[in-house]
Structure formats: structure tokens, C-alpha cells
Structure 1
Amino acid sequence: MKLLLIAFALLFVLACSTVGFTKSVDVRKIDNIVFKEIDTTALVGDMYIPDIAGPKPAVIVVHGGGWTNRSGKMEGISKKLAQDGFVVFNITYRLAPESRYPSQVEDVSDAISWLYQHADEYEIDPLNISGWGYSAGAHLILMAGLDRDKSPQLRSIVAGGTPADLTRWPNSPLVLKLIGEPLANAEETWIEASPVNHVVKNSPPVFLYHGQLDSLVEPEQMALMAEALKKQNVPVETYTVNLLGHILTYAIANGAERSGIEFVKAHEASE
């Protein structure tokens, strides 16, 4: 009976997965725009531009994949954001273990800077550039965007399935590939590489969402991140996606995505 109830719940989620998302505008996509070159490597992003006149808000989108691959390409949320009137820059970054932390954070930070520098070219309102990431991408957009004194400023951040405190996984092969040394030998780096330790009083507002049944990045991580934000009086909202784990939350958690989009809109700067 329990499995049957879960199956019905999943069918309901799938049936409602497009609620709130309407293709209201045409979107032009420009693939593989180079925003950074390192030796012989070019880092690129795909730009989604809605057919709306005048300066538009923008979102820089960062993919997941355990810092080692691009298994979560973020194409779905990129299209939804663009259809909702945002210019979207869906970026790549250097991957572990070939590139170690903080290379990935530097790449995301540089992509944010590049977007600000090219705001006029893509009709972007520079006062309203936000960030969105899932899983490893959530970790990276928070690392690059939380400390406004050190990084390009983001208006708000949406982070799903966030690895917030890396020290909670001392035996994680993925974190080891990212950092390059085990926790016992590099505790300071593991601590420094955790978003919970980068919240400051003027960090941008953050929307966190997480799958209730996430066994890869436990829901406790969302609570830890929210607590760190609240301690600094940074506006934060949380959204638990019922009955879904890490991968399905990425794939079909459109209720959370809809709420994330509304959160970004609510924190836009007024002219």
C-alpha cells in the first residue's frame, strides 16, 4: 500500500509538473559563448534571450554533476527562466579531479563578472543579475555569490540540493576529487570550501529547495545552510520537495522551480 501511495504521488507530481510555466515569449538561444580562456581551454555558456524589448533581468545558471561532469545540464530551468522574461547564461566550468578547488569557484565568479561586463550587449539590467544552481552547481553559485565584498554581486540566489557543509562527508570520493586531499590532511580547505562558512550580513537573499528523500545530499544540508543565513539575518526561504530524491528533484521539481522564480522576481531592484 505504501508503494502504491508513493506511485500515485509521483504521478500527481508529473501531471502537475508544468503548472505555472507558460511559453509566453519567444526565446533565442546562442550556443557556446566563450567567457573565459585558460591555456588551450575555453569555458563557454549558452545564452537564452527572450524576445522582450528593453533591459531584462538575468540569471546565471550553474550545472551539477558532482564537480566532475555535466550530468545536470540545466537546460530545462534555463528555458523556463527565459520564457519568464529572464536572459539566462547557462555556463560550464573546469571539472575535478583535473582541476581542483577553488578553480570551479573562480570560473563561476569570472562568468558572473563577464555577464556584468556584457550586460549592454545582451540587453541585461545590471541591477538585476541573479544566480541559480543545482547540486554541485548550487554549491558553486553560493560560493561565488554569497560574499558581496569579494565577488561580483548577485541580486538573489536559488540553490537546489546544496552541498552546504563539505565536512559532513569526510569519506566522500567526490569531495576528495574536488579538494585533492582528505579531510584529515586539509581540514581548513574543506571548511573554507563550504558555503555555510561564507555567509555575511550583506549576502544576497537565498531560496533553497531540497528533495525530502535525497540520500546523496541529505536534507540536513538545506537546514544547515538556512541556519547560517538566518544567523546573519539574510533573507532565506526553504522548499522541501516531498517524496523525491536528488535526481528526481532536479528533473521534475517544477513546483520548487516556480517558487524559486517568484523569489527572484520578488527581490528584483526597482527602478
Structure 2
Amino acid sequence: MTDLFRKVGAVCLAVVLLLSGCTQTAAESGHFTKDTSIQEVINDKAFDNYGRLMFPTDDNYYSGDTLGDLQLTWYNNINPDKTVEIVNYFYDQVQQDQRIFYPIYSKSERKADPEKADTGIFFFRGQSGAKTAVVNAGGGFAYVGAMQDSFPVALELSKKGYNAIALIYRPEEETAYEDLAYAITWLRKHADELQIDMTDYSLWGGSAGARMANRVGTDGTASFDEPASPQPAAVITQYTGLSEVTGKEPPTYANVGTDDSIADAETMTERIDAIKENGTDAEIEVFKGLEHGFGLGEGTAAEGWVDHAVSFWKKHMTTEDIVASAVNIPDSIRKIPRRYFRQARQQGTLEDLNYQTWESFSYEEHQTRLNKHAVVYLPYQYDPSQQYDVFYLMHGGWSNENSLLGSPGSPSEFKNVLDHAIQEGKLRPMIIVCPTYNNTNENGQDSDDFSLALQLTDQFHNELTNDLMPAVESKYSTYAEEPTPAGFAASRDHRGFGGFSMGSVATWHTFQYNLDDFRYFLPMSCGTDLDNSVLWQDAENRDPGDYFVFIMTGTKDFAYSYEQERHQAMEDSGVFTDIDQQSNGNFAYRVKKGYDHDATAAEEYTYNGLTAFFPSS
């Protein structure tokens, strides 16, 4: 596969030179930028009197005059782009008449205790009626480091569809516990008003915030003179030196870095082991080389920990999670772990599927029969008595049905990636089908001709609907009760289509013709212009929540400029809503810095797309 994409890259090199361009980052294109002064944000009229609570109220605990320069005491790995994204999120929410800050204490309570004037919650909205996470920043019980420790996590959770509450509390240990217990009570009382679900809520925190989550989660709100509330479904903690175990702890997830000089990784591991010994579910991730206060850990070994924590939380939910079926789009495109390319302990299998169809250009006339072949991936311990999601993965140019996963006798390394992703709980066990749009040329040379390939991908929907899908889903156990149009339509929530390069063109045509049959679409690095008005016409008459499109490309890919334009067109259409702008959006766009049009990109994008659409629950 690598050699194949090197050939494609060589052919497209000249095109790269013609199509290079640049755009602003999300951080640079909003109301605020990295050059905006912190004081300007605090004083912005959009934020009334609470802009000051976005930053430490005691300026001895932060340095820097601008958003780009902001540093917080005891914290590392602060990402200026994330800081800017957060304040722009707040600003945009206000402009959309969405309230973002709520004082939790009444005016009389704040008057009686002026320190309570510096408390409240920032509300990061997810889906209406979705479950709620209360996130607590650290700061050594000296200040509240929300801009690194609670705001980024809360924003990430809201993007996933959950409602996230970032608490600003009085930064002394006992008052911090009291404020968290009060906030939980307040949220339960105002749940209908906020349109949040407080059943199976979770408590999150880093450093001192982790101590808060542990203490209140374990001892309960009644211990702090508040009405008794149910114990949280899970407590999610980062880098805390807490060692005490009482035996009453809720299910607990933790993470820490090996180079943390404040929270000892060994102490945290021993505490998690002790919780497990008491019969309570607990787990810890230890990240090599990270220091204290790494937050989301973007660009480090910790990147993606929020996904793992959410999965842990979901395991302990007792009532319906309305975002369980939502697409889990990562903030950035994640690398495939190197070990995934080696054989897994639990190996799936590849099978050859032979089926009959008709010559593409005369398909409707049924003039010439063709015998075609697809490669089918079956997960480890495939059980015909169970139902499986199915994804149709189309190859690009200069390729055929064996190019992506190989053959039963000679599987590719990417087949190992699928095995590992399923084995390690990143991807649910599923069926993957690798077909071909190649027509009469059995050696795959049809895909070598760009003009011909464009025509064949446009016509592939006939074969897909009438021949390939019935052949696959009558032989293998999918969610289709019967291999008919009605059966496919009824099971569309469990089916996706994707492809890289020319495979992405096939994906867009599948969106054009087959929205009845597919919910998820993964067009990756589509390096050509397509007629959007035609491709998106059927979607105009549908509920926007009926489909999801995930686009990926790289900054050095000749397709980059095409995808930039397509992204803008999607944002301007009435058909698509960017998930980065609205948690229940129906498309996502991710760009990998420095990535070209090659096998590394194709494999990485496919891995990210599959794990986003079909995460292991």
C-alpha cells in the first residue's frame, strides 16, 4: 500500500505546487486572538462582570499579558490555541444569546460572604437532556486554574454531546468542598431549566480539583450540610497526590505523568489498586515524561485521555445515555500506535467474496455480466448469531480491492491495526468490506485512468445497492434483517462508507445516491472539484441528524485546497453543521499538519474515522 501511494504522490507532485494555499487557524479567525490582552477579555462587555473569573482572581498565580502568553502556576503544556478557542467559544455563545455563566449563591448569600461573589459555574452546553459532568480545576487551593484544568476538558466534553459544568470555587480546601457540594445541589434543582440530566453525573478534577471530586464524590453532599445527592457514576481525576482510601469510593479513573514532582505516579497507582481491592472499578493511565498539570495533553503521550475517561464513565451509567450513538470526533487526528502494525493476539480474518454484477456503463441495460470480488474483514471470534456494524471501504487510484487490507493469504499491516483497535477496546467488533469500482479490467487498470475512474465512481452506486450489499449482507450477519432495500434502510444507522483519494469521490457519490442505506460517510483527501449542488441535493429534504460526514486531509496534500473550499461550502450550506460549532452537528473537518497524499495519511485517517463512527462502548 505504501509503494502504491508513493506512486500516486509522484503523479500529483506538480499539482501540489499549483494548489498550495493557507488559511487562518481557528484561534486566529475568531473575535479574540493570541495577541488579545487578558485584560481586554476580562473587560469585554459581552462577559458582564464575570470575565474576571475566567482567569485567576489573584494575579500572583499567572503571568503573561496576552492570551498567547498566559502561564499558570504549577501547570505545564498550556496550549495558546486552546486558550483562544475557549474565550472565543464563550464569546460566540453570548452572541447566540446562550447564557454561559451562572452564580450559584443568591445575592443575599454573596452579600453575607463577599468571597462567594467569586464563585459560580461556566456552562459548556452539550445535547439537550444529555448527562452532566462537573469539572473542577486545580490550583493548590490557592487559586482556580480553570483555563488549563477545567475549561479545556469541559469544552471537549461538550463537543462530544455531554453537558459540562466548570466550577469556580473559593480556593481554600474546606470551602472548595462546600462549594462543590452546593453546586451539585444547585444543578439538580435547576436541571430542567438548564436542560441537563443529573442522573449518572460524573465529577472531574485535576490536582486540587481531583481532591474535590474524590472527597465530595466519596463522602457525599450531605457531609457538607447539603441535601443528600446520589453518588456520582464515576470520578475522573488527574495528577493528585491523594493516597487515602476509605472503601466508599465511586468508580474512579485517574491519570498522571511519570515526571510529575507534585503528584507521585506510584502513589496514585497504589491508591487505584487499593480501590480495586475493595471491589470498586478503577483504572489509571501513567504517561511517560509528562509533568504536573498537562491538561488535555495535546501533542503528548496523554492526548486522547478524555475519550478513555468518557468510556469509563459510560460503563457505570445506569440509565440511557442519549449521546451514546453520537459520533465521537477527536479534537485532532491521532497517530496509530506503532505496535498496532504488528500482529495482534486476537486476530480477525479476511475472506474473499465473489459476486456477480453488470458492466458499469451499460448497467441499466444488463448487457454484460461481470464476476467481481471483494475482500471482507471479519472480527476475532466472529459469531453469525450476533449482529455487526458494517463499513464499505473503497480504494483510491492505481488500486484494487486488495490494496487496503491485502488478501486472505497475504494480509496487509493495516489489517493488524483493525485487530489491535478491536482487541484494545478502541473499535467495536465489526465487518469491513473492500470492494472495487474497477469495471472490465480485472487487473485494476481502470483506476489508473483519472477520467475513467471519475465516471466509474459515479456509477458504482448501481452495483453497490443491487449486487454488492445483497451479497455481503445475505452471507454475513449485519443489522439488516433481510438483504433488501427496506432491510438496508431500516439498518442504516449501523452502516458506513468511506475512501481515500478516488475512494473519497466514490464516498461522495454514495452520499448522493445512497442516503437511504448509509448513515456515516468518510471522504478522505478528495483532490478534485465535485458538483456540490448535485451531491447534496437529496440531503436537503432530510433531517440533518440522519447522516454524518467526517473529512480529513493534510496540509501538504494536493487535496488540501480542495478540502478547504469544500469545508467552507459545507459551512455555508443549509445541509451541514460543523460539530465544532454545534455539538449535534453532522460533519467534522480535521487537518493533519505536514501530512501528504500517501499511505500513512490514508491509514491514519481511516483509523480515526472508524474509531469515531464505531467506538467500543
TM-score over 0.5 for the pair: yes
What is residue 142 of structure 1 aligned with on the other side? Answer: 214
Distance of 1:61 and 1:71 partners within structure 2? 12
- Secondary structure of the corresponding residue to residue 234 of structure 1: coil
The equivalent of 1:90 in structure 2 is: 166
Q: Paired residue for 1:232?
A: 278
Name the structure 1 match of 2:459. Answer: none
- 3-state SS, counterpart of residue 146 of structure 1: helix
Paired residue for 1:208? 254
C-alpha distance in structure 2 between counterparts of 1:72 and 1:224, whole Å: 28
The answer to whether residue 205 in structure 2 is matched with residue 159 in structure 1 is: no
Instruction: Give the equivalent residue in structure 1 for 2:152.
Output: 76
The superposition leaves residues 87-124 of structure 1 with CA deviations (integer Å, 9 ceiling, x where unpaired) of 1110011123xxxx422111111111111111111122
Deviation at 1:30, TM superposition (A): 3.3
What is the distance in 2 between the residues matched to 1:92 and 1:102? 14
Q: Are residue 62 (structure 1) and residue 108 (structure 2) matched?
A: no
Asked if residue 259 in structure 1 is aligned to residue 308 in structure 2, the reply is yes
Structure 2 residue ranges without an equivalent (≥5): 1-76, 83-91, 321-617
Closer, same or farther: CA 32–125 of 1 in aligned 2, 3 Å: closer
How big is each residue's C-alpha offset from its partner over 1:156-194, in whole Å with a ceiling of 9 and x where there is no partner?
1100102213xxxxxxxxxxxxxxxxxxxxxxxxxxxxx
Give a deviation string over 1:96-155, Cα, whole Å, max 9, x none. Answer: 3xxxx4221111111111111111111222212111100110011110111347463211
CA contact (8 A) 2:191 2:198 kept: yes
Match for 2:198: what amino acid? P
What is residue 220 of structure 1 aligned with on the other side? 266
* Alpha-carbon shift at residue 45 of structure 1 (Å): 1.0
Q: Work out whether 1:31 is the aligned partner of 2:100.
A: yes
Q: How far, CA to CA, are the matches of 2:125 and 2:294 in structure 1?
A: 27
- Pair 140,89 (structure 1): closer, same or farther in 2 beyond 3 Å: same
CA contact (8 A) 1:162 1:221 kept: no
CA distance in 2, matches of 1:219, 1:230: 17
Structure 1 residues 250, 126: closer, same or farther in 2, change over 3 A? closer
Retained in 1: the 8 A contact 2:180–2:212? yes
Match of 1:118 in 2: 190
Question: Counterpart amino acid of 1:115?
Answer: L
| TM-fit CA distance, 1:250 | 5.3
In proportion to residue count, which structure has more strand?
A: 1
Q: Distance in 1 between matches of 2:279 and 2:191?
A: 30
How far apart, CA to CA, are the structure 2 residues paired with 1:224 and 1:72? 28
The SS at the match of 1:106 is: helix
Greater relative contact order, per chain length (Cα 8 Å cut-off, separation 6+): 1
Structure 1 residue 84, shift from structure 2 partner: 0.6
CA RMSD of aligned residues (A): 2.5
8 Å Cα contact 2:137-2:167 kept in structure 1:
yes
The residue type equivalent to 1:239 in the other structure is E
Partner of 2:290: 244
**Contact 1:141 1:157 (8 Å CA) reproduced:** yes
Structure 2 SS opposite 1:254: coil
The alpha-carbon distance between structure 1 residues 244 and 270, as it changes in their structure 2 partners (threshold 3 A), is: same
Q: Displacement of 1:72 after TM fit?
A: 4.3
User: Given that residues 207 and 236 in structure 1 are in contact (C-alpha distance below 8 angstroms), is that contact kept between their aligned partners in structure 2?
Assistant: yes
Task: Kindly state the Cα deviation for residue 220 of structure 1 after the two structures are TM-superposed.
Answer: 2.2
Question: SS at 2:293's partner residue?
Answer: helix
The residue type paired with residue 314 of structure 2 is K
Aligned-pair CA distance for 1:251? 4.3
Residue 112 of structure 1 aligns to which amino acid in structure 2? I
Take 2:99 and 2:297, find their aligned partners in 1: how far apart are those partners? 23
User: CA, structure 1 residues 249+87, in 2 after alignment: closer, same or farther (shift >3 Å)?
Assistant: closer
Whole-Å separation in 2 of the counterparts to 1:118 and 1:136: 26
How far does residue 79 in structure 1 lie from its aligned partner after superposition? 0.6
Shift of residue 266, structure 1, vs aligned partner: 2.2
Query: Structure 1 residues 72, 199: closer, same or farther in 2, change over 3 A?
Result: farther
* Structure 1 unmatched ranges of 5 or more: 1-12, 19-26, 166-195
Q: Which amino acid aligns with 1:156?
A: A
Whether contact under 8 Å (1:210, 1:249) holds in the other structure is no
* Percent pairwise identity: 25
Residues 1-12 of structure 1 aligned to structure 2 (within 5 Å): none
Paired with 2:247 and 2:207, the residues of 1 have a C-alpha distance of: 18
Letter in 1 for 2:99: I
If the length of structure 2 is used for normalisation, what is the TM-score?
A: 0.32
Corresponding residue of 1:268: 317
Deviation sequence 1:40-86 (CA, Å, 0-9, x none): 22221100112x34x21000000011110123432111110001111
Question: Counterpart of 2:219 in structure 1: which amino acid?
Answer: D
Deviation string 1:208-261 (CA, Å, 9 cap, x unpaired) is 111121112111231232133123211101111122111335543332222112
Aligned pair count reads 210
C-alpha contact (below 8 Å) 2:251/2:280 kept by paired residues: yes
For residues 125 and 72 of structure 1, the distance between their equivalents in structure 2, rounded to whole angstroms, comes to 23
Rg (Cα) greater in structure: 2
AA aligned opposite 1:204: P
